[in-house]
Structure 1
Amino acid sequence: MAKRTVDPGDITADPRRLRGRGAVSNAAGRYERFLRVVVDDGWEHPTTPAGNDPADDDALPPVKTEITVDATRTIITRNKSPDISFDRSINPYRGCEHGCIYCFARPTHAYLGMSPGADFESRLFVKPNAAELLAKELSAPGYTPRTIAIGTNTDPYQPIERQMKIMRSVLEVLRDFRHPVGIVTKSALVTRDIDILAEMAAMGLARVALSVTTLDRKLARQMEPRASTPPKRLEAIRALSQAGIPTSVMFAPIIPALNDGEMESVLAAAKDAGARSAGYVLLRLPLEIKDLFREWLETNRPDAAKHVISLIRQMRGGKDYDAEWTQRQRGTGPYALMLAHRFRMATRRYGLHQHTELRTDLFQRPPKAGDQLRLF
């Protein structure tokens, strides 16, 4: 059993430091030898007269985002999962400042010796040479083009992208190679790159999906504290669609008794904004996420916490999570079947089934400096 120790410097020692973040704790990852337990011994929060907030004048500053350069040597990640539609992806960032409490990428921070909790959304790793690495990999003699998915792990348009512009540089490479790309994001920042995406879409090389989890701004701010507001995401769908870019909506994740009642209204709003197709994914709670999400529920939705967890387990064979292929995305049991039926009916009603296939036959390796010498 892991030893327990108290870390007085832990970023959650003062809960007020986590305002604006999704996670409400920062427990050590599953590979760590020690488990951090935050306690208040009374010295940092002295007793004050009734009605006064303790230690207000000495409260620690909010947690700031830290950035580290990721020294990766490759940029395309490959998978053989039979229940997803792509076999390769790019992730310009590790960690995500959006802070979505349910994010299934959170456990990956444990591999870095960090917490899937607050660390995941405040200690980010960036890949500034992503475009250079991508051009090198696409130029390999044996490379065969297939759609590259971006945004399947962490969001490529999270706030840091405004300064880093890594995603834009990646799109420029994909455009030059005439390579197909599918993007998933929660950020209206994607509209910044409409010029590139529209050019690619005109050739059948690009499509974008906006994840709209709820139309309730308060719930969105609690679940996804630094992602674009729901109205901004709908505006992004409209702007992309008007630019001729095939755009879809992802109602993901579906959380029973929390946002599942909004399914039809979200799909209707997305259709009105110009979405052509839709998809959904049931909430997934692997590894540390099950504890982080339960903790978040008890803090933000204490009245609904037990009911939400009960419904989740009903769709997961009595467990918090079932990682079986195909089942992990949709769940099983009566409640899961009801959600699937509602989704089918709604997409049929709103005509959200215009899936766009991307082209691979236009792929070309752009000439490098000096290539023209081969003509002589």
Structure 2
Amino acid sequence: MAQAHQFPPATLRKGRGAVSNGLSQRFDHIEREMDGDFLDAEAAAAEQGADAYADFRPPLRTQVREESPRTAITRNQSPDVPFDRSINAYRGCEHGCIYCFARPTHAYLGLSPGQDFETKLTAKPSTPALLRRELARTGYACRPIALGTNTDPYQPIEDRYRITRGILSVLEECSHPVTITTKSARVLDDVDILARMAQRGLAAVMLSVTTLDAETARTMEPRASSPGRRLHAMRELTAAGIPVHVSVSPVIPAINDHEIEAIVDAAADAGAIGGFSIVVRLPHEVSPIFREWLQTHYPDRAARVMNHLQGMRGGKDNEARFFERYKPKGAYAAALQTRFQKAKERRGLDRTRLDLRTDLFDPSVLTDQPRLL
């Protein structure tokens, strides 16, 4: 039997996914504790009902700091991932998706993968200029660049910084292919660039739709676009000639697995031409954060959820081995995959991710100096 996780007192905040800042960090020795007066006040509030908790908690506001990275493009060497380069304009993500596999990366900053991941963000405004320089280098070999592989390129602070739009402008200028994964309708802010690129075979978008139920979405991914707005974005992107795929991911047993067919149908009606789905993964700190969330929001089914997940991961919360981590095992996992495949076949969502063009790439437009071949 797996060892039970011990959680700190909950500090649930409206509009945030993680219930708390979790346990101690891997890379520092800082421990976060609430003072006794606060705990006494919270206990008193509990006697009045759950809604009274908010009166004893200060607002948890988003903080953004700017970073000057040395490079724009991140190289990926994982043998089971279908892209070798990506760009992340931001660290952390205000969407607050409880299941986000990128949460553990915040520990490298000395911050919590819990609420810090959602509220203490980093923006990289110099990314478009760095990208221009990197693409212009002699010897650069063009392959599609993936946006949205770690944190969402269209999270709310994109409204302020427009870094993703700057990246797309550079890519369009030199005819470089790009794929985007997002759960935000803000992708429509760049439909003009994406439509021009898609017309030349240079762009494709994957929208993540985890549920069609607005209340479930607010609980799992509190600051992401509502399901209805994501489906609207699919329709608008399709109307603009941009190929759209749906990611029915992650599937969480006993939470959203009953919606697989309905999500596929809704995405097909909105114009999606292909689809992808994986079962939720719980690497490192994501596991205790997810467990705490389950106990807070779904105490009646928390044990059932974890039993299903461990049954698909060899008795563990997570499987980290390459080529195994995306392939849950067992009858339950097989049933989920069969249902998804049959739903896709029924609605014709059988197109794989497009092979975007690389032959149009022209780095000479990025520099005043002629490129030596």
Same-fold call, TM > 0.5? yes
Counterpart pick for 1:270 among 259, 264, 267: 267
> What is the 5 A alignment of 1:105-144?
105-144=102-141
The residue number in structure 2 matching 1:280 is: 277
> Could you say which residue in structure 2 is the equivalent of 1:260?
257
Tell me, in whole angstroms, the C-alpha distance in 1 between the residues paired with 2:46 and 2:294.
Answer: 31
1:171 to 151, 168, 172: 168
1:36 aligned partner: 32
Rounded to whole Å, the distance in 1 between the matches of 2:335 and 2:46 is: 53
Q: Which residue of 2 aligns with 1:156?
A: 153
Distance 1:29 1:207, change over 3 A: same
Determine helix, strand or coil for the equivalent of 2:277: strand
CA distance in 1, matches of 2:54, 2:228: 37
Deviation track 1:196-234 (CA, whole Å, cap 9, x = no partner) reads 000000000000000000001101000000000000000
Q: 2:228 aligns with which of 224, 227, 231?
A: 231
Change (3 A) 1:60 1:38: closer
The equivalent of 1:336 in structure 2 is 333
2:316 aligned residue (316, 319, 322): 319
What amino acid sits opposite 1:35 in the alignment? Answer: E
1:41 deviation in Å?
A: 4.4
Inter-CA distance 58–266: structure 2 relative to 1 (3 Å threshold): closer
Corresponding position of 2:5: none
C-alpha separation in 2, matches of 1:358 and 1:49: 55
Q: Equivalents in 2 of 1:357, 1:304: separation in Å?
A: 41
Give the match for residue 9 of structure 1.
none
Distance (Å, rounded) in 2 between the aligned partners of 1:180 and 1:255: 32
Q: TM-score, normalised by structure 2?
A: 0.91
TM-score (norm: length of structure 1): 0.91
Pairing 1:214–2:211 present: yes
Q: Say whether the 8 Å CA contact 2:312–2:328 is kept in structure 1.
A: yes
Q: What 5-or-longer segments of structure 2 have no aligned partner?
A: 1-7
Q: CA deviation at 1:56?
A: 8.0
1:39-87 superposed Cα distances (whole Å, 9 cap, x missing partner): 6446861858975999989744311101111121101011121211100
The structural deviation recorded for 1:336 is 1.1
1:271-310 to structure 2, matched below 5 A, reads 271-310=268-307
> What residue in structure 1 maps to residue 19 of structure 2?
24
What is the total number of aligned residue pairs between the two structures?
361
**What per-residue deviation string (whole Å, max 9, x for no partner) do you get for residues 345-373 of structure 1?**
1111111012321000000014357559x
Identical positions, percent: 51
Residue by residue, what CA displacement relative to the aligned partner does 1:307-333 show, whole Å, maximum 9, x if unpaired?
A: 000000000000000112222113111
User: Against the structure 1 CA distance between its residues 39 and 284, is the aligned structure 2 distance closer, same or farther, given a 3 Å change threshold?
Assistant: farther
Deviation at 1:32, TM superposition (A): 2.0
Alignment-derived partner of residue 240 in structure 1: 237
**CA RMSD, aligned part only?**
2.4
For 1:348 and 1:267, locate their aligned partners in 2 and report how far apart those are by CA, in whole Å.
Answer: 10
2:73 counterpart (68, 73, 76): 76
Structure 2 residue matching 1:197: 3-state secondary structure = helix
1:97 to 2:94 alignment = yes
CA distance in 2, matches of 1:13, 1:345: 44
Shift of 1:37: 3.7
Give the Å deviation of 1:341: 1.2
Q: What is the CA-CA distance between 1:31 and the residue it aligns to?
A: 1.8
The alignment partner of 1:67 has SS state of: strand
Q: Which residue of 1 aligns with 2:183?
A: 186
Larger deviation, residues 332-341 vs 224-233: 332-341
CA deviations over 1:172-203 (Å, ceiling 9, x no partner):
00001100000000000001100000000000
Matched AA of 2:109: L
Task: Name which structure has the greater RCO, CA cutoff 8 Å, separation 6+.
Answer: 2
Partners of 1:348 and 1:294 in 2: CA distance? 34
